[in-house]
Amino acid sequence: MKPLTILGIESSCDETSASVMENRQVLSNVIANQDIHIKYGGVVPELASRAHQSNIVPVVHETLTRANRKMEDLDAIAYTIGPGLVGALMVGSSFAKGLSIGLNLPLVEVHHMKAHVLSHLIVDSAQKNPEFPFLCLTVSGGHTQIVVVESPLNQKIIGSTRDDAAGEAFDKSAKILGLPYPGGPLIDKYAKEGDPFKFKFTEPDIEGLDFSFSGLKTNVLYFVRDQVKLNPDFVSIELPHLCASIQHTIVSILINKIKKAMDETGIKRIAIAGGVSANSGLRRALMDLQKDDCEVFIPKFEYCTDNAAMIAIYGHYEFLEANFGSLESIPKARFSF
């Protein structure tokens, strides 16, 4: 039987990505990053759209070449319809629609956050797939959620952030320390050399399974401002300890809520997804948690941050249900879960 071959396209923020997937296996997953935003300290939407425009054709071409597949081998085109930056989403959606008309192929509209969760169902020798139901802690630059996953297409949010996302907490704290965007990976890097208990930052007291990270950012801002008044070199001298302490606080907030979610749902399978799941402190804390009778699933590194393989796997499951998209659909900056 011919395998199910899906082309996934992702363009919701500042990564242009395309992937060819065959029966849940990734044949190629090409990701073009956009360095242009570094000097602005954050993603500039208009520049992101323009970079997607220049990247999309070569990225799709490259992914088909690496997969050793032709356009004619495809069964469907899955693309991110939201949530994300509208101008950025528009590039992937227009390209996907054009291809669908040209090749007479069905379209599948993909929810970016649900796709992050399904990165766990990609078949890859380097990762194991969780059984259902499982809990997924989805932590990215724009979202922080705990999701109960009953089946690939049955996902329900049981906790989410009331203000900043975990990735934002990393990036904004990094900015206060004078680190370039995106600061998350840099905090992770410097934290390796630092003492996580040297500085104590506040953890919010939020009921239930919701999160809050805006207090931490303010805490870091005032603390650093006061210390710099006493010693202008404070940040450069203490950088590793500051990074380790900030990372420790964010990870502790996340781990405490995930423990609570396990208690409340009785589900002992924990997966993480989204860009922050690349964080080594979070990965380590989850591995420690695994010692307490729960099973932990950490995606392969390239499936953590934004990528099109996760879009293709979501497309795979929607295709099996014949849930196809329409040429009339427009990208959604906000997209209910």
Q: Nearest 5°: phi and psi at 138?
A: -100, 115
17 binds Zn ion (CB under 5 A): no
- Token pair of 191, please? 């934290």
Q: Which is nearer to ligand KG4, 64 or 182 (CB)?
A: 182
55 binds Zn ion (CB under 5 A): no
DSSP state at residue 127: B
Count other C-beta atoms under 10 Å from residue 330's C-beta: 11
The CA-based angle 273-43-164, given to 5 degrees, is: 55
Residue 171: contacted member of ligand KG4, Zn ion, none (CB under 5 to 8 Å, by partner type): ligand KG4
Q: Least CB distance from residue 306 to ligand KG4, whole Å? A: 4
Selected from 11, 119, 140, 173, the binder of Zn ion by CB under 5 A is: 140
What's the rounded Cα separation, in Å, for the pair 96 and 56? 10
Q: Which is nearer to ligand KG4, 152 or 274 (CB)?
A: 274
6: closest CA among 106, 102, 93? 106
Q: Least CB distance from residue 306 to Zn ion, whole Å? A: 4
Q: Least CB distance from residue 117 to Zn ion, whole Å? A: 11
Q: Least CB distance from residue 73 to ligand KG4, whole Å? A: 28
| Cβ 188 vs Cβ 280: under 8 Å | yes
Q: Which is nearer to ligand KG4, 185 or 215 (CB)?
A: 185
Segment near Zn ion (CB under 5 A), from 1-9, 140-148, 162-170, 293-301? 140-148
Query: Three-state SS for 129?
Result: coil
DSSP state at residue 41: T
CB closest to ligand KG4, residue no: 275
Give the H or E element holding residue 10.
strand 5-10
- First CA to last CA across the chain, in angstroms? 34
Helical residues (DSSP H) of the chain, grouped into ranges: 45-67, 86-103, 112-118, 166-176, 184-191, 214-230, 234-265, 280-290, 309-320
Q: Which is nearer to ligand KG4, 105 or 191 (CB)?
A: 191
Q: Which residues would be at the binding site for ligand KG4 (CB under 6 A)?
A: 13, 140-142, 167, 170-171, 182, 184-185, 188, 274-276, 278-279, 305-306
Residue 184: contacted member of Zn ion, ligand KG4, none (CB under 5 to 8 Å, by partner type): ligand KG4
Q: Please spell the DSSP secondary structure of 147-172, one letter per residue.
A: EEEEETTEEEEEEEBSSS-HHHHHHH
Residue 170: contacted member of ligand KG4, Zn ion, none (CB under 5 to 8 Å, by partner type): ligand KG4
Q: Which is nearer to ligand KG4, 142 or 315 (CB)?
A: 142
Q: Least CB distance from residue 275 to Zn ion, whole Å? A: 6
Q: Least CB distance from residue 124 to ligand KG4, whole Å? A: 18
Residues 110-139 that bind Zn ion (CB under 5 A): none
What residues make contact with Zn ion under the rule CB under 5 A? 140, 306
